Structure 1
Amino acid sequence: MAARALCCALTLLVFGGVCSGQELQLPSRVNGATRENVVFKPSRLPSGSYDGFTWNFKTFTIISGIGSSSLPTAPYRDRISLNMSTLALELRNLTENDSGVYTLSITRTAVTYTAETTLEVFEPVSNVTITSSPTDLIEFNSTVRLVCSASGSSLSFLWLNGSSEVTPGDRVLLTNGNSTLIVFNVSRHEGGPYTCEASNAISTHMSEPLTLTINYGPDSAFVKAAPSEPIYSSGSELTLTCSAESSPAAEYQWAVDGSELSDVGQKLVLPNIQSNDSGSYTCIAHNTKTLRYSTSEPLNITVLEKISGVRLIGPSELIIEGNSTNLTCQASGMVVSAEWTKDSQKLSPSSSVIFSPNNRSVTINPVQPKDSGEYRCTLSNPVSSGFASYTMIVNYGPDGVHVTGPSEVEVEGNLVLSCRADSVPEPVYEWQFNGTKTGVTTATFSVQQVNFTYSGNYTCITWNNVTRREASGSHMLAVKAKGTLSGQGGPLSGGAIAGIVIGILLGVAGVTGLIVYLKKRPKASSKGDRQNGVTQNGGEHELNYAEVQHVRNNQSVVNMGGPSTQTRQGTPAMVRANRGAAPNQGMKPTPPTEVMYSEVKK
């Protein structure tokens, strides 16, 4: 019997759950504003058609219907509208009394589906204001109470000081649902502006800002001078101004060296000051509201004469790289500051640039080439300044000797080598070829129409007469036959092409004339013909390759394949005349001036 009852109960729970809304759903909560409208719209309806429906508020029926017809009850007849396809109910002109639970029931084939939603109607927020007591406050002494009032229902409150939210703390208290703000022992930074934000579920409204009057100070009394330097020349005018943080504005009394003056007010004017006006000046600020005082830090005033006769003294001997040197700046009058520049840029201390404690002298150790330039020291006080300059020349080198020029040239071509070295002053030059002095003592070594004997090692030796130092650099040169330089084969110029064409035409003419001549010449024996390089074949004479080249080039044929040089035309003397020099005879370049290296160094 008990089992049967349990089974029936479970069945009722299952079917009851389905019928009570598993296929019918409404929003769980709806908010509305008084005098506004609200719509209850099912988010899910049972599938298929239904036989009837009913909308209820609490236990009272709002509207019901059977099939496609519906009938609202009398109290809601002019306040509701119903969408028959979605069963969405609109309720107009809300009041706070409309808050409560709304139920929709749908009947289909003897099964009832039910869902409910809760409506809460709010009065919109309005008329948000702040009141304060008291209104005239003393910093660190007064406590202020701010009250926020507003119209509306279910209100909540938020306080802002400027753009920052006010939260409870050691001296801040929020009461009465946060509508009341109490600040104990107010500070000047808590003067506002304060705003109160009142809100409920449907609206938010902000009050007008309220700023508190908080009397404070005086604090941080401070004296400044115009002009602002603390040292002045006699006869000038000095104005001292005192300021302090104070509300309301403070009153001021002046004192010098601890003794009060008869002068009062924010400014103290001292015309035509003299040395006896020097001293320590202070001002005393007083707030008549807070009854507090503040005394400034003393401002020391010194009256001085102008700076004159500035001199920058440097070493009298020549400055050589690696040594130490000193620059000293001197002047008449009292110097407050000294500044140094090099080539118009500020000179800063470093491992090699050392300033004296008063900045009046600079020691550079060791001196480097980059230290050359114009040095300037500027001495100043608040009333005057003066400067002096010194041009430093650092003698160094020679360093980084570098010889530039071609590494390969054609025979009969021109040779130009240049020697460069980092050196002050300009070094003395000497050129050597394969370890032998040439007598050339200029930075440039040049030769016209070189021959094969110019191949070798060229050395440029440099000497600095001040630093007594020497440095050298070498350059290898190879003289090669014409047309054999590496990198040849590029495009020819128009003039070169024209020269080649003319040479070919002249060569063809010469070969033609030689052939005609040989044809007319009497036949010789085969032995003689072989000795002359001509063979007979069918009564015709043929030129060998060397003879054709001889006619075409009209010059000697040189065998470059071995150590010796042979010619098939003319004597060695004729070859030398044609070449411009004698190869393989150890001949050295002849410079225009014979200056020995030992003589230069002297």
Structure 2
Amino acid sequence: METSVILLIVLGAISGLGHGLGVLPDRLTGAVGETVTFVTSMTPTVTPFTVVTWRVEGINNTTTNIITSTSENITDSAYTNRITLFRTTGSLELRNLTPDDAGEYNVLIIPAGEAGKKGTCILEMHAKVSNVVVTPSNTDLVELSGSVRLSCSSSGSSLSFLWLNGSSEVTASDRVQLTDGNTNLTIVSVTRYDQGPFRCHVFNPVSDGTSEPVKLSISFGPENINLTLSPSQEHYDEGSRIILRCSTVSTPTAQFSWFLNGDLLPDTGPELRLVNVQMSQSGNYSCRAFNSKTLRSQTSQPAAVSVLKSQVSNVVVTPSSTDLVELSGSVRLSCSSSGSSLSFLWLNGSSEVTASDRVQLTDGNTTLTIFNVTRYDQGPFRCHVFNPVSDGTSEPVKLSISFGPENIHLKLSPSQEFYERGSNVSLTCWADSQPVAQFSWFLNGDVLPDTGPDLRLMKIQINQSGSYSCQAFNSKTLRYQTSQPAAVSVLVPVSNVAVTSNTTHLLELSGSVRLSCSSSGSSLSFLWLNGSSEVTASDRVQLTDGNATLTIFNVTRYDQGPFRCKVSNGVSDGISQLVNLVVQYGPDSVSIIGPGSVHAGDLTVLYCSAVSAPSVKFSWLFNDKPTDGHEAAYVLQSSRSSDSGTYTCTAVNAATGQNRTANHDLTVTGLPACDCSGAAGRATIITAGCCLVIAALSVTIVYCLLRGRRVKYAAHNQEKISVKEKYSDIYKITETSQNDLNSPPVMKF
């Protein structure tokens, strides 16, 4: 009664059933004895599903209700202890699968308050692969002479077969056949590459398996037979040891036999050893390989063995002479040796000697003759003798070939043009010579007592100056060679340089001066300097006595110096003390600086300047009348109308006896001077005013004097430039320093 109620509920739910697409996978595969789980796509909910029911339509068209779960589970007896229902998702686990479990599985899931969900899944059942075995028809074959069939058997269901050769899949071809659903593999005309190992791989949807490997034994060969000799050489010395090796490609391993000149030898195996070989064993050797399985054989190409009896020994070189002079003699070298079938080769160092115009090889190359020997023919010479089985080389023979002297050189150390008296000089002589040359020394062509390659001159003196040369002599060649001369010039150092003058005080353009330079030392050169500039000859300047005397005609103010004399030779130099000339000139460029117009009562200063050496004396005239002014500045304390007029300044140079004058016009304008003879009551006020005026005048005088000095200094510089331009045609001596031109003249106030 309870079961019927549940079924009615299920049937009622089915009436409102939804399709439920995607609730189960379409298909599952199961293996006999294993487990399969039908997993739904349902999501667990808080409220359990109302109904979950599973059923299966079997392979015999029978339908079985596996389980119905509502508030309780109703399970078919055939599935007791074989299933597990996962109530939260409706998934079903089925265990201990049998072939009868194949079929279509349906699930119905009714969530609370919702339409039912239905799913369908087909379960396919397979038996696992096992007992995979390969059975060959034959395992012992001959290449290209037989065929083989491999059969594969296995337990399981829905089986597929795959053949492997090593790790590669076997596919059908002209020689390979796959039949009976690939269970049989047939190989026609087997080759060595068909030996396997072969395996059969069987599989179905739930499992797979592979057989044990089967390896075929395929006999082939012999082929590619090869015969080698060790050591490999054209000829063998009697008593040598020779090994002949025969190799071939063969399965199974070939059997070998040996032949000498076509005759069978008793020896077998892949090696033939000839120990202490004799000449009677010379001939053509060959080997034959035989395969007992294929019944095939192959014979090698013959290898020639040539055994000789004689060995090279006692190689000796005998020279006709070992002591020769270059280009003056010839030498003959003879080579002898024990042995037979000998060949001869001559070596000079590591190079082979070949015949030329000077070199002859005779008597089968046993004799080497060199004509007109040179230094490059000294060797070492060796004779190399050989035959087909051995060789030998003589001890080296070195020739002594004398040459030279030549390429003689003479070197001075230190190398310089002049040497200071008391210094040390070394002369070294060398030349190409064999044997070493003997040296002698010459000074100005006279032989010196010194010998050897070095000549040392210690604390050299002037009398040792001259041309030195050396001569090299070779006692073997009896030849001489003399070097080019080397000049040794010994000088006394410069010292005590002094300058004297015939006068030091001169009038410009009215006198001449002669400066003489003297110095200790030898081979002296003289150079005159005016300040930092070199003095050179001109119309007014003469350099005589080897430049030791400097004469200046018509001296100018720019010839005052300072002059110095620099003396030098190849080893030292020196310079004199400064010499200054006093050149008197002027006065030139006399001028008056001052205002042209002033107001009555002003302090007025007129300033007279002149270019002169020594300083000039001044006197003043007012309107051609003498005044008491004898200074450069003429001062009017309080100008008046009567001070208007012409002022004349006269500058006198007592040394040159010359004077120059300058004129200046002054105009005084404005009110008359203040009347200070007023009432006594105003005396105090006037006195104070006069004091203030005097103070103001004093400040003005100082200012005018300072300004006058600056004006005169600027005028003085301009005047110097004018004077220099004026006398440019006669001032040909080197220029005086700019400081001399710019220095203001000395002026007396």
**TM-score computed with the length of structure 1 as normaliser:** 0.50
Q: TM-score, normalised by structure 2?
A: 0.41
Higher RCO (CA < 8 A, seq sep 6+) = 1
Which structure has the greater CA radius of gyration? Answer: 2
